[in-house]
Amino acid sequence: MKDQDLEALLQDLSVEEKVYQLIQYQGANYSDDAVLTGLLDQNHITPHELGMAGSTLCIWGADKLKKIQDAAMAIQPHHIPMLFMLDVIHGHRTVFPCPLALGATFSPELVEECAAVAAREAAAEGIHVTFAPMADLVRDARWGRCMESTGEDPYLNGRMAAAMVRGFQGDDLRNPDHIAACVKHFAGYGAAVAGMDYQNVELSEHTLREYYLPAYQAGIEAGAKMVMTGFHTYNGLPCTGNAWLMRDILRGEMGFDGVLISDYCAVNEMVSHGLCEDLRDAARVAMENGVDIDMEGRSYAAALIGLVEDGTIPMARLDEAVRRVLKLKNALGLFEDPYHGASETQAKAVVRTEEHRALARRAVTQSLVLLKNDDAILPLRPGKIAFIGPYLEDADLRSAWSFSGEAADNRSVRAAVKAQAVRAGWEVRFSQGSTLLDNGTRHALGVYRNDDFLLENQRLCAEAVELARWADTVVLCLGEHRLQTGEAASRVWLRLPEVQQKLFSAVAAENPRIAVLLFSGRPLVLGEMAEQAKAVLACWMPGTEGGDGIVDVLSGSVSPSGKVTMAFPFAEGQEPMCYNGYSTGRPQVPGGPSEYTSRYLDCPNAPRYPFGYGLSYTTFTLSEVSLSAKQMTKKEMITVHAKLENTGTVAGTEVVQLYLQDLVGSRVRPVKALKGFQKVSLQPGERVDVQFTITEEMLRFYTARNRFESEPGVFRVYVGTDSSVEEYLEFRLVEEG
């Protein structure tokens, strides 16, 4: 539809029609098999209201949504099509590794491909908008939603958020293979106090700008059509009612003119927050702060017509919100094709194709992080191998945010091992070893209870010990439950369940040659297991092709190349942690005094595994790091050179990382900041020159003058294979001559 026709349509709408374009009822009101991602308000909604609503969420299926669309458009006086939205966070029916794992690939290109496939599958099943990318920076592994983030670094998160937006949206949303992206949760949701979900966020404006805003901005600059508010308060105001965040920063500084949607019930939750007295007040505040769509909140449904009719909310503000929603529908081509090309035929043609599964398998192999590999126990050589653990049989290797995937589509580690054992020369035996959870453990959707827990685990453990005695090597498949991560899944203890720790100890007492496959949605505290196991491979929540991708790496068909994107602590008490914090006035200096310095008495400052860390089956050396100049003006650039060599005996891939440090600033500066990375694959003995270009733009920050700019002075350049790199070179940024 032409813009002028869209405007004419807007002006022709009644107040009721306009308001209902801003209302989003939960999908369960339209279909029994919708997924609930929050509590469902049981207040009955009439069919008329359901048909008048501008959008719904959490249902998918071509025929189902086409029927809902037809019914809604028949009720709509102007036959305006609905928007169908869903959390397609890391895949639709082909489920990719969770975002924390996708980040570990350090491959924005691969992540863009995965998002494009997710969009193709979701669009074929009737989805128009995904509530992704989640661009929240995370530093606290107690927070359950780390799994949805790509980690602790602003630059990596920005590259990944932009890649996902490009993958989801493509060049033209009218293309039936693409869906609109929604950057969330604006802003700073990952910094919830004490890692407790929905909690307050206490960040200075400077910290918010330095670390948390860049990734949202990158997603918006990549063209994201929607942004979602966070549940939390910032500066004493819920995001959904926070004019500074929503109007000054999002609309003003970032220039975002797309649709702003609240998170689930976040509008009416401003009453619980204590900002608003009732739903009418909440609707007023949200509208005044630029929230266009009220997700399942019922505030707009309860009060917005009255607020407009009594002049509390000007018609111009209502029109501004409705115009954005209609423009999004128009960008998707819904006025010409309300189904956006969805059909059961199309869905059958694109869902979980061999090509999609092959991509998912490749994503798994690139997301696995080899944390330890003593005696080169991996890849597994031919011989007797015992595969043991509660994750062995579990085919449901999806994260908590992959509703539309199905466990039945996945091959478990066990099934994948059986498929490859002969070719790999493995004589294999299997044992569950233990239950996944301790009895009485709470997870996000309930409590695990097992009346036979003790006897069952005694039996399972004894069987596992027998197998360990028989085997040359043991592979232990351990981890946290998928529902122990995700929303409302904060935890204070980040260790493996006690029953799994007992299994590990019993097996290790019998056979020390153990490789652990670690399944988790966050960094865990590994304790003795990390000391005693010969190898640890972080597998995260690997998705549909998890089993096969993992075995590809275990067999050596693919050398692991993933890198940690969120530090693994030694202890929960270290959280929150990050590599790119500030020096403090009393930093611990290698070889310097420890008394009266910034440190813990009972734990190292450093994480067990830092950002950017990950091993390969081969070895690499970085050498001859050089700078093309010792100084540069703001108009000049400096080229960084480094030699990377594969000094091992097998092919492998390394991620060369560029970090900069601004030694002196009008505000203190991070001790390191990732500014570039290159993923390089080399054959044994191969040696290449890796180059980076340093530009003045990379040196900018939010200065004490409250401007985003660079300042003259000395900078350190670190080129390494993880964030603990210590060697550096220096250059000076000088004023123009």
* 328-357 positions binding ligand GLC, by CB under 6 A: none
Helix H segments across 391-536?
A: 413-424, 453-470, 498-510, 528-532
Note the Cα 354 to chain centre separation in Å.
Answer: 25
Q: Does 37 bind ligand GLC (CB under 6 A)?
A: yes
- Least distance from C-beta 60 to ligand GLC, angstroms? 12
Q: Rounded to an integer, what distance in angstroms lies between the CA atom of residue 112 and that of residue 375?
A: 36
User: Of the two residues 261 and 416, which places its CB atom closer to ligand GLC in the complex?
Assistant: 261
User: Of the two residues 263 and 654, which places its CB atom closer to ligand GLC in the complex?
Assistant: 263
- Least distance from C-beta 362 to ligand GLC, angstroms? 27
User: Tell me, what amino acid is at 643?
Assistant: K
Q: Does 38 bind ligand GLC (CB under 6 A)?
A: yes
- Name the catalytic one among 87, 153, 263, 394: 263
- Least distance from C-beta 89 to ligand GLC, angstroms? 8
- Least distance from C-beta 185 to ligand GLC, angstroms? 6
Interface residue with ligand GLC, options 487, 654, 662, 722 (CB under 6 A): 487
Q: Rounded to an integer, what distance in angstroms lies between the CA atom of residue 326 and that of residue 711?
A: 44
Q: Does 18 bind ligand GLC (CB under 6 A)?
A: no
Q: Is 329 exposed, middle or buried (0-12, 13-18, 19+ CB in 10 A)?
A: buried
User: Of the two residues 184 and 411, which places its CB atom closer to ligand GLC in the complex?
Assistant: 184
- Least distance from C-beta 404 to ligand GLC, angstroms? 12
Residue 145, classed as helix, strand or coil, is helix
Q: Does 150 bind ligand GLC (CB under 6 A)?
A: no
User: Of the two residues 240 and 723, which places its CB atom closer to ligand GLC in the complex?
Assistant: 240
Binding footprint of ligand GLC, residue count (CB under 6 A):
10
Token pair in block for residue 320: 């501004």
Q: Rounded to an integer, what distance in angstroms lies between the CA atom of residue 344 and that of residue 685?
A: 51
Pairing of strands 83-86, 129-130: parallel
Interface residue with ligand GLC, options 184, 284, 481, 672 (CB under 6 A): 184
Short-list 210, 234, 223, CA closest to 154: 210
Short-list 656, 613, 104, 655, CA closest to 371: 613
Let me know if 396 is a catalytic residue.
no
Q: Does 57 bind ligand GLC (CB under 6 A)?
A: yes
Site string for ligand GLC, 355-384 (x = CB under 6 A): ------------------------------
Check residue 500 and give left, alpha or beta (phi > 0: left; psi -120 to 50: alpha).
Answer: alpha
* 114-133 positions binding ligand GLC, by CB under 6 A: 131
User: Of the two residues 137 and 471, which places its CB atom closer to ligand GLC in the complex?
Assistant: 137
Residue 652, classed as helix, strand or coil, is strand
User: Of the two residues 15 and 444, which places its CB atom closer to ligand GLC in the complex?
Assistant: 444
User: Of the two residues 58 and 642, which places its CB atom closer to ligand GLC in the complex?
Assistant: 58
- Least distance from C-beta 334 to ligand GLC, angstroms? 20
Exposure class string for 375-408: b at 16+ Cβ within 10 A, else e: eebbbbeeeebbbbbbbbbbbbbbbbbbbbbeee
Q: Is 669 exposed, middle or buried (0-12, 13-18, 19+ CB in 10 A)?
A: buried
Interface residue with ligand GLC, options 125, 140, 177, 263 (CB under 6 A): 263
**CB neighbours of 691 closer than 8 A, spacing ≥ 6?**
639, 640, 641, 642
Q: Rounded to an integer, what distance in angstroms lies between the CA atom of residue 2 and that of residue 8?
A: 10
- Least distance from C-beta 231 to ligand GLC, angstroms? 6
Q: Does 197 bind ligand GLC (CB under 6 A)?
A: no
Interface residue with ligand GLC, options 25, 264, 519, 617 (CB under 6 A): 264
- Least distance from C-beta 100 to ligand GLC, angstroms? 15
Q: Are 120 and 168 in contact (CB under 8 A)?
A: no
Neighbours of 600 (CB within 10 A): 11
User: Of the two residues 57 and 690, which places its CB atom closer to ligand GLC in the complex?
Assistant: 57
Token pair in block for residue 481: 């439950």
- Least distance from C-beta 632 to ligand GLC, angstroms? 42
Q: Is 200 exposed, middle or buried (0-12, 13-18, 19+ CB in 10 A)?
A: middle
Site string for ligand GLC, 379-418 (x = CB under 6 A): ----------------------------------------
Interface residue with ligand GLC, options 17, 87, 210, 645 (CB under 6 A): 87
- Least distance from C-beta 99 to ligand GLC, angstroms? 12
Q: How far apart, in Å, are the Cα atoms of 69 and each of 121, 158, 384?
A: 19, 35, 57
- Least distance from C-beta 29 to ligand GLC, angstroms? 14
User: Of the two residues 40 and 407, which places its CB atom closer to ligand GLC in the complex?
Assistant: 40
**CB neighbours of 121 closer than 8 A, spacing ≥ 6?**
91, 92, 93, 94, 347, 350, 351, 352, 356
User: Of the two residues 95 and 460, which places its CB atom closer to ligand GLC in the complex?
Assistant: 95
* 579-638 positions binding ligand GLC, by CB under 6 A: none
Q: Does 269 bind ligand GLC (CB under 6 A)?
A: no
Exposure class string for 21-46: b at 16+ Cβ within 10 A, else e: bbbbbbbbbbbeebeebbeebeeebe
User: Of the two residues 86 and 717, which places its CB atom closer to ligand GLC in the complex?
Assistant: 86
Tokens 């044994």, located at residue: 684
Token pair in block for residue 146: 């780390």
Q: Which residues are catalytic?
A: 263
Binding site for ligand GLC (CB under 6 A): 37-38, 57-58, 87, 131, 184, 263-264, 487
